[in-house]
């Protein structure tokens, strides 16, 4: 069965959201419910026609984070994301986050089963450690592309012809190089998330 086209949502100057598929006004909570059941949509500014889907999805996350017991984004993680804006790593971060959440989504049923079968030992530790380790290895391999010389898995240098050139869409002022401490901090944040999951499984 072919996947249906995304529903068009129009946002008016009074901040009201109009679902053109159902011909009704909707709220951010309604859009959040659509996301959870897999209904795709695009949001456009009713006056300019600009695609504002990203900003509306961000607003949905903001509302969810404000609910008691619903917040998922650690403060340290949010601070680190802000630091990446304008950094040379900015182009890489979205793809890394997308691949990480996609991997977690594909394995969520397995993780839920492991939580349900938890007897004494926390079954989440091993799979999450492996997943985090795979993600960080992938992240660091991608990061090596932004260095003068990348590295192979064994740590040996890669000559420039081995690397695919990264051509920016437009020439921009050189951004401040990403600090090694930023990578370490991201690792610490992932470890913190793992500790929180361990705590939840013990309850």
pTM of the model: 0.56
Mean pLDDT, residues 13-37 taken together: 94
Does residue 12 carry a pLDDT above 60?
yes
Between residues 54 and 101, which one has the greater pLDDT? Answer: 54
Per DSSP, 161 falls in state G
- Interval 56-69: pLDDT, tens: 999 999 998 888 78
Token digits for 3?
């996947």
On the 0-12 / 13-18 / 19+ scale of CB atoms within 10 A, 23 is: exposed
- Interval 66-84: pLDDT, tens: 887 878 888 998 999 999 9
Diameter of the chain by CA atoms?
A: 60
Return d(Cα 115, Cα 201) in angstroms, integer. 6
**Cα(first)–Cα(last) distance of the chain, in Å?**
42
Q: What is the mean pLDDT of the chain?
A: 74
Mean pLDDT, residues 17-21 taken together: 96
Whether 183 contacts 140, CB under 8 Å: yes
- Interval 156-195: pLDDT, tens: 544 444 444 444 444 445 545 555 666 677 667 766 766 6
Burial annotation 57-75 (CB, 10 A radius, 16+ → b, else e): bebeeeeeeeeeeeeeeee
- Interval 104-154: pLDDT, tens: 778 777 766 666 665 444 555 555 566 666 666 665 665 555 444 444 444
Four-point Cα dihedral 65, 128, 182, 54, nearest 10: -40
């Amino acid at each position: 069965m072919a996947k249906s086209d995304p529903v068009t949502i129009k946002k008016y100057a009074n901040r009201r959201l109009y679902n053109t598929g159902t011909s009704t006004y909707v709220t951010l909570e309604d859009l959040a419910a659509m996301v959870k059941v897999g209904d795709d949509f695009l949001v456009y500014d009713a006056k300019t026609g600009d695609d504002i889907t990203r900003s509306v999805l961000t607003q949905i996350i903001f509302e969810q984070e404000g609910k008691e017991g619903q917040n998922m984004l650690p403060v340290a993680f949010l601070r680190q994301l802000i630091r990446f804006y304008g950094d040379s790593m900015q182009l890489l971060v979205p793809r890394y986050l997308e691949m990480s959440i996609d991997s977690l989504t594909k394995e969520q049923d397995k993780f839920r089963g492991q939580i349900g079968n938890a007897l004494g030992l926390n079954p989440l530790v091993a799979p999450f450690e492996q997943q985090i380790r795979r993600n960080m290895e992938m992240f660091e391999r991608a990061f090596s592309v932004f260095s003068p010389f990348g590295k192979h898995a064994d740590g040996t240098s890669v000559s420039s012809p081995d690397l695919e050139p990264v051509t920016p869409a437009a020439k921009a002022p050189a951004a401040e190089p990403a600090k090694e401490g930023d990578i370490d901090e991201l690792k610490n944040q992932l470890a913190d998330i793992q500790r929180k999951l361990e705590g939840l499984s013990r309850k």
